Structure 1
Amino acid sequence: MATNGASNGTQGNSQDVDFRDPAVYSEYEKKWSSLPKDEAGWLRRAQEVADVLAADAGTRDKENKSPRAEVALLKHAGLLKVLGPKKYGGGEQPWSVGYKLIRKVAEADGSIGMLLGYHLLWSTTANVVGSPEQADRYQKLIIENNYFIGGAVNPRDSDLKITSEGDKIIFDGFKHFNTGGVISDLTVLEGVYDGTEDHIFAFAVTDQSGIQFGHDWKNIGLRLTESGSVKINKVAVPWTDALGWNPEQKKPDAEILKIPFASLLLPTIQLVFSNFYLGIALGAQDYASKYTVKNTRAWPYGGDNKEQATDEFYILSTYGNFHAHLRAAVALANQSGDQVNEIYAKYSGDLATRAKLTPRERGELAEWVASTKVVTTDTGLRVTAGVFEVTGAKATSQKVGLDRFWRDIRTHTLHDPVAYKNRELGRYQILDEVPEATWYT
């Protein structure tokens, strides 16, 4: 693919958007001059990033500026490269480590944890729906250049069409939602090839006149994710970059796309969601705990009066319950991450190896992920709303900023109705049915 114009997240079509100067984090480029060597090192690096973000997360949420600086911080830390092959300068860690990094960053800032999660998914798109040659080519491009990847892949929008012009495909249309595109180097585009029901994924350089962002993300939460609309106007991509397609025949390559392996993007990203939900909830618990210790007052009219809030039975009981459920959610998320590792370790590689993944195995993985989605959604919403009961009326002040955790998790947990995950799990339990692969399973 042509890469002229990729501009390290400073797209010309967003030059008037308010953003913090990426130079505010320049000191970390030298501090983090090399990548961690193992899982423990990666987790320490993620904690260091989280510590930096936590210092002014509430302020940045209020300012609502485009997160170019925060993406630069992720680049300096090397977190964008955690899954990439070592031969191109990546960390070559399994997905389970990637999920833990997402969770840790989200503890401090849900928006930036979400951006990291989506990047890790989109940066590995070619590994799942592309040919082995495409997968290797894009890993080299993305990892060596430390690119941040956005995505205009909203399956509910069917108005992004693809036509063929010679040796190129032309994307034309609109998406109501994209993630991180405004501050990305490359954007994953997805649409339906004209006259068929076949979808095409392809990477495109973000900094071009044909990609115009609406800058209309005005939602209550995840305010720094640049998740608004985008207009795609005649964006050309070489047929050779259509992931998993035969460029000569202009048809999907059945060996690549008509097998369960090619549908692994869906459970993989659903577990991305669960991990930043979990990170946000853990962050809320920690933030509220510190507030309670420092600021919450005991209730003087209960008949069993205490001198300080940390002696109050109901406060201790509530925090203890949150702790137990979050600890269980972490264990489930880690187990699901291990299941993802197992599938990719066993079936990644040449097409013959990919083809061995069965629908049953793929479906059982999806049910691990669905279980995690249900638990992290339910627990996350309960914790981020419930912390106000143990912090007190003053904690509702905008100055405190405790509300951002609930706003963040409430915003994204509406991405797709969790009720359908419950139904899906019910059919698995009662009828031993695994779900068919869809855009959301």
Structure 2
Amino acid sequence: MKAGRPPTPEQREAEHRIWVTRAERVAELIDGHTRRTADREPAPPVAEAELLRQHGLLTLLTPAAHGGAGLTWRTALAAVRVLARADGRIGYLLGDHYVSNASIWLAGGPRVQQLLGRPSAERQWLWSDVVVPGATPLDLTADGDGYRLSGTRLAPIGVAVADMTVVAAAVADSAEPLLVGVPRDSKGVTFTSGPESTVPRPDGITVRYDRVWIPSEHVVCSLDPDRATPRASLLGLAVQAVSGHLCLGIAEGAMGYCRTGRPADSMPGTRALAGYGTWVAALDAAGGLADRIAERLGDAALRPSLTWPERAELAVRVSRLPILAADLATEVTFGLYETTSDWPTAAQQGFDRFWRDARAYTAGMAIDKRRREVAQHYLTGAEPARTDLA
């Protein structure tokens, strides 16, 4: 979206549809690739990342003044959901990119925005993150006009193909937690396969940092709760919104596959049909909530003067989405997997990825924490955590 006069609502809607259509085109290409390679071991999504780059989706959220498309979270989350219907891994890859890249626009200052934001847009960088809330932080040691980063972390497999990764680490002397940007080709960064698991996981690769040089201009922001601003704290809400849209996309993809991939002579029984009807209705209702949250998150991210009470009011609404979406993704994909047990082997294998993705990504979500937040706010009016990135 071009800088200058604010667009009309009609222009915003037209721009939104253009970018959603781009995402749908990528989803069509990725879906075909997924079905052809469903029996292979997960590998770094090099080809899929290039598709995202070729279709311009990586700069969708970047402000127009810095060379991006200047769209809002409404469109970004819609793109994540579209991609997740085709392949949960790629929906996760794109959502992780949007949150990681948004850290410089929501939490970073003008200097880091100029130094990292503009080249990111010009070169179509893919972003990822190594941020694990509650884990022992990686180490940052002061060294001249910068730091040395050390430590090992199990991370999303997208880190292996990302051009820039944001990493959470603590300064050795002060224990202050910082979010820093690390280029993939930095000296001292190595990747190895993650531990074997019976369930495919989003954190599928081990990253080692061996005294990696972090110049001061690559420090995105402090993660100290006392230094947080309402706008910077939207990062945590963006994580939750992405998780919600990812789970809904996986469930919607499973429903769509059962409609289009179902053998012609296979019709669900009475009990299965009732389940289908319930899930269609539930996904429609959850999708409406997801769309409203995306709209409100996008509006909040555009407001430099956002207040803590406004952020809290948004947070109690956003927290409901991952709860609902995670439960639906698990219920729908497992329920549908059971109803496909009598399908031919090839058709059922094509469906297998949906319930595996649902298991993998819901396992990494802090759903119990979200349930407690929603309950405590309902019962006592307590605000959700201000700086939670889980």
Aligned to 1:330: 287
Distance of 1:89 and 1:221 partners within structure 2: 39
Letter in 1 for 2:307: L
CA distance in structure 1 between the aligned counterparts of 2:95 and 2:200, rounded to whole angstroms: 13
Aligned length: 377
Letter in 1 for 2:204: S
Identity %: 26
Residue of structure 1 aligned with 2:331, choices 342, 364, 382 = 382
- The residue that corresponds to 1:357 in the other structure is 307
Within the candidate set 248, 255, 259, 1:278 is matched to 248
Out of 48, 55, 77, the position equivalent to 2:32 is: 55
Aligned residue for 1:90? 68
Q: What is the TM-score of this pair, normalised by structure 2?
A: 0.89
Give the corresponding residue for 1:401: 350
Q: Tell me what 1:299 maps to.
A: none
> How many Å separate the matches in 1 of 2:198 and 2:291?
29
Kept in 2, the 8 Å contact 1:186–1:203? The answer is: yes
Which residue, 80, 103, 119 being the options, matches 1:102? 80
Are the aligned partners of 1:271 and 1:373 in contact in 2 as well (CA < 8 Å)? yes
What's the counterpart of residue 427 of structure 1? 376
Query: CA, structure 1 residues 216+61, in 2 after alignment: closer, same or farther (shift >3 Å)?
Result: farther
Q: Whole-Å Cα distance in 1 between the matches of residues 90 and 45 of structure 2?
A: 8
Q: Residue by residue, what CA displacement relative to the aligned partner does 1:275-302 show, whole Å, maximum 9, x if unpaired?
A: 1111110000011122335252xxxxxx
2:5: which partner in 1?
A: none
Which one-letter code corresponds to 2:49 in the other structure?
V
Report matched runs for 1:249-288 at 5 Å.
257-288=227-258
Q: 1:234 to 1:397 in 2, by over 3 A?
A: same
2:47 alignment partner, SS class: helix
SS in 2 for 1:172: strand
The AA in structure 2 aligned to 1:188 is: V
1:40-439 alignment runs, 5 A limit: 40-63=17-40, 64-216=42-194, 218-220=196-198, 227-244=204-221, 257-292=227-262, 294-296=264-266, 309=267, 312-347=269-304, 353=305, 356-358=306-308, 360-394=309-343, 400-439=349-388
Q: In 1, distance between residues paired with 2:182 and 2:374?
A: 37
Q: What residue number does 1:306 align with? A: none
- Structure 2 SS opposite 1:409: helix
Contact kept? 1:244, 1:253, Cα under 8 Å = no
Which one-letter code corresponds to 1:127 in the other structure? Answer: W
**Alignment check: 8 A CA contact 2:189 2:209 kept:** yes
Given the superposition, is the C-alpha separation of residues 197 and 148 from structure 1 closer, same or farther in structure 2, using an over 3 Å criterion?
same
Contact 1:292 1:390 in 2 (8 A): no
**CA-to-partner distance for each residue in 1:214-237, whole Å, 9 max, x for gaps?**
2226445556x5732211110111
**What's the secondary structure of 2:142's corresponding residue?**
strand
| Deviations 1:362-410 (CA, angstroms, capped at 9, x unpaired) | 2222221210011101111110001134334336668632121111111
- Alpha-carbon distance in 1 for matches of 2:137, 2:225: 24
Q: Shift in Å at residue 135 of structure 1?
A: 2.1
Q: Which amino acid aligns with 1:432?
A: G
1:314, distance to aligned residue in structure 2 (A): 2.8
Q: For 2:28 and 2:36, locate their aligned partners in 1 and report how far apart those are by CA, in whole Å.
A: 15
1:151 Cα deviation from its structure 2 partner: 1.5
Deviates most, 153-162 or 379-388: 153-162
Distance 1:323 1:410, change over 3 A: same
Q: Which moved more, 1:402-411 or 1:94-103?
A: 402-411
CA RMSD of the aligned region, Å? 2.4
C-alpha separation between the residues in 2 aligned to 1:102 and 1:371? 18
* TM-score, length basis structure 1: 0.80
Change (3 A) 1:219 1:106: farther
Q: Are the aligned partners of 1:106 and 1:113 in contact in 2 as well (CA < 8 Å)? A: yes
Q: Which runs of 5+ in 1 are unaligned?
A: 1-35, 246-250, 297-308, 348-352
Query: CA–CA distance in 2 between the matches of 1:65 and 1:175?
Result: 18
Counterpart CA distance in 2 for 1:62 and 1:207 is: 31
Q: Distance in 1 between matches of 2:112 and 2:14?
A: 27
Q: Deviations over 1:199-220 (max 9, x none)?
A: 1111121113311112226445
Which secondary structure state, in structure 1, belongs to the residue aligned with residue 122 of structure 2?
helix
Q: Is the 8 A contact 2:84 2:246 kept in 1?
A: yes
User: Is the contact made by 1:84 and 1:90 (CA closer than 8 Å) also made in structure 2?
Assistant: yes
1:17 alignment counterpart: none
Separation (CA, whole Å) in 2 of partners of 1:59 and 1:219:
23
Distance in 2, matches of 1:252 and 1:363, equals 18
3-state SS in 1 of match to 2:210: strand
CA distance in 2, matches of 1:173, 1:422: 32
Q: After the TM superposition, which of the residue ranges 313-322 and 63-72 deviates more from structure 2?
A: 313-322
In 2: Cα distance, 1:104 partner to 1:258 partner: 32
Query: Secondary structure at the residue paired with 1:176?
Result: strand
